[in-house]
Amino acid sequence: MIQDADLKSKLILQADIFQHHYRKKEYVEAKLTRERAGIVAVFIRLPEKERTELFGDRQGDEPVEGMFDEEKCIKAGFESIKRGFDMQRMTYEDVMALVNKKRG
């Protein structure tokens, strides 16, 4: 069984993986990395402090920038849509075909 500390360290690693894909202009992969990290954080009920460290927080008087840079996440989302990737309209098979096409 994976321990909480292991999950947290893996989530932190995802921020680095996001940056790697973003720098290589692999926007779909960057977007998927951010989305997976967000889903896992919710699923394991990551405490608010750690969520803020990872994803930032815009709710307070002083916005907090997270390890997933908000502007880069937004750009990765827009660039993904421009390349035909739209999570709202795509099936799992559509997403995997797009990712595999990029790799091949």
What confidence score (pLDDT) does residue 84 get?
Answer: 76
Instruction: Spell 30-65 as b/e; 16+ CB within 10 A means b.
Output: bbbbbeebbeebeeeebeeebbbbbbbeeeeeeeee
Stretch 75-84: mean pLDDT, rounded?
A: 87
What digits encode the pLDDT tens for the residues 41-69?
998 889 999 999 999 988 877 888 899 99
Q: Tell me if the pTM is above 0.85.
A: no
First and final C-alpha spacing in the chain: 34
Q: Give which of 8, 104, 92, 86 is closest to 47, Cα–Cα.
A: 8
For residue 80, pLDDT beyond 60 = yes
- How many other CB atoms sit within 10 Å of the CB of residue 85? 22
